[in-house]
Structure 1
Amino acid sequence: MAVKQSARARAWVLFDRIVALAAPDEIHSNPWRKGPNDKLFFEPDYATLERLLGVPLHLKAGTTSGVPALALDVWLSYELRRAGFDADQAWPRPAHPRILPGAVTELLKDLPKAMRQPLEDRLIRKGSIPGVTSSSASILGKNYLKQVDVIITDWVTGPELLISTKRMDSSYGKNAPNRVEESYGDAKNLRLRHPLAALGFVFGLRSDILQKEPYVADWLFDLLAKLGREDDAYHATCLVLMEYADDAALPDTGEEAPAAGVPEPGPEADAEEDAPASVPVTQVDQYIEQLPKVRVLQDKTPEDLAPSRFLAAMVERVLSATPVNMHTEARRRRKAAQ
């Protein structure tokens, strides 16, 4: 009897295909552009983001499934690869397992094929192997372990980039204060142990807040901006303002995602995650064509919370904190801006 796959496993099938279509043969476009007076700016791939944001709506995957916020994680990791970071450097990776230490990747590359293939098969088959692979990454801050959604790290450098994501599609007045309070505590926890890492926060928010609770929206935008200006909090913060039809809305159960800001289990306690199901590409493409339409409202997003500004700040922070002989492709892409 076939085992029913989790919402995350079903979502990964669509996420992976959307990203593959955006970067055929893993060739990514260069996000850096030159504006007036040759000023550099980062041009995000909003079309891919809007497709990814349609996946949880298509699956009717509620907040507690983790899929809505996962769409943001996948996009951010994809944008880091566009910026020139290697597919195995930026987690979540564009293939299962999503968290795989660089040392393991290098070992696999060095092994003869006869030895490498069985190990790769086992890594793919297992949801997680304690201390080796995982579906999510937890990093020790000053006082407690914190799950970080998008990360660049290596045992040589330590954490170089740490981005946390949240998403809210309803119950704004009820949940927004908790999300902001948790995020500030998480920032201090991580910043105090990893002061050189680029630390960022991305908040996905349904645009109907502008009509339903405009005062909450103004308050939330103001606090998000301030979180990115504090000396001991995030280096940059970001708002992804999502517009979609009511008939595509996620079910509002009144439940929230697992609370952040509390001690979390280490890798050894990480729950296994199903590998994406094997689905014919033609069928996956049909699903993608039927995804609910989502539009990111760039014109309604405050300039200091714009994804373009946020991504530029994150990449530049990583490059400025490392020697010029590291992340050479990311540096080359930035210099090649047109």
Structure 2
Amino acid sequence: MAKDTPLETAPDQLPSPEPYTAPSSHPASPAHPPLSRSSDRSRGWLLFDAIVDRASQTTTSPWVRDDGRLVYRPDFATLELLLGVPLRLGAPTTSGVPALALDVWLVYELHRAGFASDVVWPRPSEPRILPGPIAELVKSLPKRESEELRRRLETSKSLRSAAPSEARILGKNYEKQVDVLMSHWSTGPELMISTKRMDSSFGKNAPNRIEEAYGDAKNLRLRHPLAAIGFFFGIRSTVFSQAPMTAEWIVDLMQKLSREDDAYGATCLLPMEYSEYEGGADHDDAGDQPVEAVLEHLPAVTVREDLVPENVRTSVFLGRMIQQVLSATPVTHHVTVRERIKSASRKEKS
């Protein structure tokens, strides 16, 4: 896979700011009901959706000028809110909610970049996994029929293959569950991002996570050589103080994972700084409160990108992933993203 494309190696080639329009398929949510005492994952989704709804109304384009260069500037404020959700709920790693916060944010960023919401999964509304053509069918039907089909897609076991609970992609040798996926029946997978999160036991867990990531990259790349494949690793910042040698080893391997043509096109290491949530019984009380009330008291989380090299930071990661998608598709695909690049070029010349 070619890696010396202009946008990958020169941040000054990235597109400049344009007004951001929230995905039209995302339901408006001016007010949310109280959280039910359902699973951590269900409660997490309610809070994630509310955060993204709110951010989508005020966010700007990710492309900005910095010291004469055009770069991708991620919305860390929204990310830090999303990362506070699993802490507020007391959701354990096994619930999937801590890693899901990363998935939701990456999808949100791809929407900010201009990719259509119906082809990037998980979608911003139920069903979370739904092929684009089926989503278009749902939207094209009269309201009553559309609501009935949506209900059946969400509840009917016989339609599980059309709207599965997770995205699974066949690699060279085995199927792999992909956390963030952009795909369409006409193109196949165009972008695949595997997200991992590690908050403790760094010396014990880090080798397993890295080995899994390396094997997954080879498996997917050998069947999908043109797809943009990335690895996004969220790690608690305490690793840099508690296990500095382990931290250095992780940083080194994260950089090396994107150097092989048959592995990842980009990797990102995201340090997250937070304190243990001291809400005590509030973990359970969150189920009785309106979503807005819970969002007003999320634990503080800070992204610490200053702890890692530039080539594994989110700005570089997202820029590379987006450019790889554009480089592997005709100009008639992802027109909105391309138009923003053209618009940025015209503004520079003027």
**Fold similarity call, TM over 0.5:** yes
Q: Runs of at least 4 residues of structure 1 off by over 6 A?
A: none
Preserved contact between residue 57 and residue 248 of structure 1 (Cα < 8 Å) = no
Q: Does 1:223 align with 2:230?
A: no
Aligned: 1:32 with 2:39: no
* Structure 1 stretches lacking a partner, 5+ long: 250-278
What's the TM-score, normalizing by structure 2? Answer: 0.82
Cα distance between partner residues in 1 of 2:295 and 2:175: 36
The answer to whether the Cα contact below 8 Å between 1:97 and 1:128 also exists between their aligned partners in 2 is: no
**Distance between the aligned counterparts of 1:61 and 1:42, measured in 2?**
31
Hey, what does 1:334 align to over in structure 2? 341
The CA RMSD over aligned residues, in Å, is 2.3
CA shift at 1:233, angstroms?
Answer: 0.8
Distance in 2, matches of 1:128 and 1:195, equals: 33
Alignment of 1:214-293 (within 5 A): 214-247=244-277, 283-293=290-300
Answer whether contact 2:87 2:277 (CA < 8 A) is retained.
no
1:148 matched to 2:178? The reply is yes
Q: Residue in 2 aligned with 1:90?
A: 120
- CA distance, structure 2, for counterparts of residue 141 and residue 226 of structure 1: 22
| Cα distance, 1:248 vs structure 2 | 5.6
Is 1:6 matched up with 2:6?
no
Q: Scaled by the length of structure 1, what TM-score is found?
A: 0.85
User: Aligned partner of 1:34: which letter?
Assistant: R
* Percent of paired sites with the same residue: 57
Q: Which amino acid aligns with 2:196?
A: K
Greater alpha carbon shift after TM alignment, 129-138 vs 53-62? 129-138
What is the deviation of 1:127?
A: 8.3
Query: CA 1:71–1:222 in structure 2 vs 1: closer, same or farther (change >3 Å)?
Result: same
Distance verdict in 2 for CA 1:203–1:33, change over 3 Å:
same
Partner Cα distance (1:127, 1:226) in 2? 42
Following the alignment from structure 1 to structure 2, what is the Cα–Cα distance between the partners of residues 226 and 325? Answer: 34
SS in 1 for 2:195: strand
Count of residue correspondences: 305
Does residue 314 of the first structure (1) align with residue 321 of the second (2)? Answer: yes
2:153 touches 2:162 (CA, 8 Å); kept in 1? no
Distance 1:80 1:15, change over 3 A: same
Q: Of residues 298, 302, 312 in structure 2, which corresponds to 1:305?
A: 312
Q: Give 5+ residue unaligned stretches, structure 2.
A: 1-35, 280-286
Where do residues 180-195 of structure 1 align in structure 2 (5 Å cutoff)? Answer: 180-195=210-225
Structure number with the bigger relative contact order (C-alpha 8 A, sep ≥ 6) is 1
Q: Distance in 1 between matches of 2:120 and 2:321?
A: 13
Superposed counterparts of 1:27-66, under 5 Å = 29-37=60-68, 39-66=69-96
Q: Which SS does the other structure have where 1:246 is aligned?
A: coil
Q: Quote the Cα distance in structure 2 between the aligned partners of 1:247 and 1:212.
A: 20
Provide the rounded CA distance (Å) in 2 between the counterparts of 1:19 and 1:177: 33
CA-to-partner distance for each residue in 1:134-164, whole Å, 9 max, x for gaps? 2210000000000000000001001000000
- Alpha-carbon distance between aligned partners in 2 of 1:123 and 1:287, rounded to the nearest angstrom: 30
Alpha-carbon shift at residue 128 of structure 1 (Å): 8.8
Which of 240, 263, 276 aligns to 1:210? It is 240
1: CA distance, partners of 2:277 / 2:67: 42
Structure 1 residue identity aligned to 2:208: N
Residues 42, 318 of structure 1: CA spacing in aligned structure 2 closer, same or farther, 3 A cutoff?
same
TM-superposed CA distance for 1:197, in Å, is 0.4
Alignment of 1:93-112 (within 5 A): 93-112=123-142
